[in-house]
Structure 1
Amino acid sequence: MKALLIYPLIPDTFWNFRHVLKFIRKKAAHVPLGLLTVAAMMPKDWEIKLVDMNAQHLSDATIQWADMVFIGAMIIQKESVQQIISRCRKMERVVVGGGPLFTSFPEVFEDVDHLILNEAEITLPPFLKDLQSGNLNRIYQNEERPNITMTPLPRWDLIDINTYASMAVQYSRGCPYNCEFCDIVYLNGREPRVKSNEQMLKEFDSLYNIGWRGSLFIVDDNFIGNRLQVKTLLRKLIPWQAARNFPFTLYTQATVNLALDEELMQLMTAAGFDS
């Protein structure tokens, strides 16, 4: 199986820093962490290519190479997604969609062959099983929240890390709050689920070992959703960073009640967070 994973173009919004990236000689701000992680869940004997349209050109020849095209996207990428689907249709390629956009609006994408919705740890395995047996359904959907301690390391070998301003890791999914402007509770639930401390240190090791130094985005929508657990991680992360002369400058997203927890702020600062 030749699988092409595509991360669509992000328009000029909060998520896109295209016009300033040229000053630091980078092509994209953030890596397609979701697709890199999904790639690690695919069969080992598959040939896999990943094209991040924010960092590289998507050619017709690359689309024609693939047996299946997997698109992972946020809602903001809808316009680019529709253009990709149209191109794939003209070349008669099988299209598979997943991620927040397809999970939120599956009814919009009737021209997509297969939809792998919700969280891939739960819905990708039955898709792969049915693909092997030749009995695929169109929609794979399951609102069960997976244990993310089983989530594999991202496939960093599929991208050129030097074209990005920052790398990324994920520590938790879900948020205990219900802000009216946010869809995270719908996508990932209200109970924060976290990776183990050992698992996180392996993710840091993997980035360190491939030579990354600099900005590292912990992409959680609320890094402090489980404050007790995150403090245990930070106590492990501080000596890891110190032993390597602080190779990563960390930043993340968190609710404003962070300001009420002095210990947590001190731990984050000591671990290398600057924003």
Structure 2
Amino acid sequence: MNVLLFWPVMPNSFWSYQETLDLAGLRATNPPLGLITVAAMLPPDWNLRLVDRNVCAETEADWAWCDLVIISAMVIQKADFQALIQKGVALGKKVAVGGPYPTSYPDVAQAAGAHYLILDEGEYTIPMFLEAIARNQPSGIFRSAEKPDVTQTPIPRFDLLNLDAYLAIT
């Protein structure tokens, strides 16, 4: 399975420190730690590419390569989040979403066309999602009220990042 992981554009705001980043020759304040942690929970035989759209844009070749798109987002990223879902669906890709925004507002992701909603704590809901994929389930909403023991969460996939693009790795 070829998976394209997306971290949507963070709009310029007081909190984005864009002027500081420009002076330092950097692209973003922090990497998408949640998304690279999700990557660590995916099967080791899956091929992964991560696109942090605050660092660089994806190519049409990236879209052509992937079988599945996984997007994580916060509320401030909602415009790009919805656009990525819609593009993935328009290109005939299966689209899975997770993170704080779709967990809080799952209807937005569904309305945009997302096939899989991996909500709440990924330590519990990613295995549910993977089981659905293994059963060729075409869509699903995966939720759990349980809270994970974060000492058991795998080490994030830092190898998927361009570490030189970030102000801090926190």
TM-score (norm 2): 0.94
Structure-1 separation of matches of 2:46 and 2:72: 18
Q: How does 1:121-160 map to 2 (within 5 A)?
A: 121-135=123-137, 137-160=139-162
Q: Which amino acid aligns with 1:19?
A: E
Question: Could you report, residue by residue, the CA deviation over 1:47-101 in whole angstroms, capped at 9, with x for unpaired residues?
Answer: 0000000011122221221100000000110011111112212211111010000
Q: How well do the aligned residues superpose, as a CA RMSD in angstroms? A: 1.2
Aligned partner of 2:44 in structure 1 is: 44
Tell me, yes or no, if the aligned pair for 2:116 and 2:129 is still in contact at 8 Å.
no
Structure-1 separation of matches of 2:106 and 2:51: 23
| Corresponding residue SS for 1:70 | strand
Q: Rg: which structure is higher?
A: 1
Provide the aligned length of Structure 1 versus Structure 2.
168
Which protein has greater RCO, CA pairs closer than 8 Å, 6+ apart? 2
Change (3 A) 1:139 1:46: same
Measure how far apart 1:137 and its partner are. Answer: 4.5
Structure-1 separation of matches of 2:122 and 2:128: 10
> Are positions 1:61 and 2:49 aligned together?
no
Measure how far apart 1:136 and its partner are. Answer: 5.2
Aligned partner of 1:97 in structure 2 is: 97
Structure-2 separation of matches of 1:13 and 1:138: 34
Q: Which amino acid aligns with 1:116?
A: I
Tell me, yes or no, if the aligned pair for 1:41 and 1:152 is still in contact at 8 Å.
yes
Change (3 A) 1:165 1:39: same
Q: Any stretches of 5+ residues in structure 1 without a counterpart?
A: 169-275
Hey, which bits of structure 1, 4+ residues long, moved more than 3 A? none
Tell me, yes or no, if the aligned pair for 1:117 and 1:139 is still in contact at 8 Å.
yes
Identity %: 39
Structure-2 separation of matches of 1:7 and 1:135: 25
Q: How does 1:200-239 map to 2 (within 5 A)?
A: none
Q: Any stretches of 5+ residues in structure 2 without a counterpart?
A: none
Measure how far apart 1:161 and its partner are. Answer: 0.4
| Corresponding residue SS for 2:156 | coil
Structure-2 separation of matches of 1:15 and 1:107: 27
Tell me, yes or no, if the aligned pair for 2:17 and 2:29 is still in contact at 8 Å.
yes
Tell me, yes or no, if the aligned pair for 1:30 and 1:164 is still in contact at 8 Å.
yes
Question: Could you report, residue by residue, the CA deviation over 1:101-124 in whole angstroms, capped at 9, with x for unpaired residues?
Answer: 000000122211110000100100
Tell me, yes or no, if the aligned pair for 1:11 and 1:77 is still in contact at 8 Å.
yes
| Corresponding residue SS for 2:51 | strand
Structure-2 separation of matches of 1:137 and 1:58: 25
TM-score (norm 1): 0.59
Tell me, yes or no, if the aligned pair for 1:64 and 1:93 is still in contact at 8 Å.
no
Change (3 A) 1:153 1:59: same
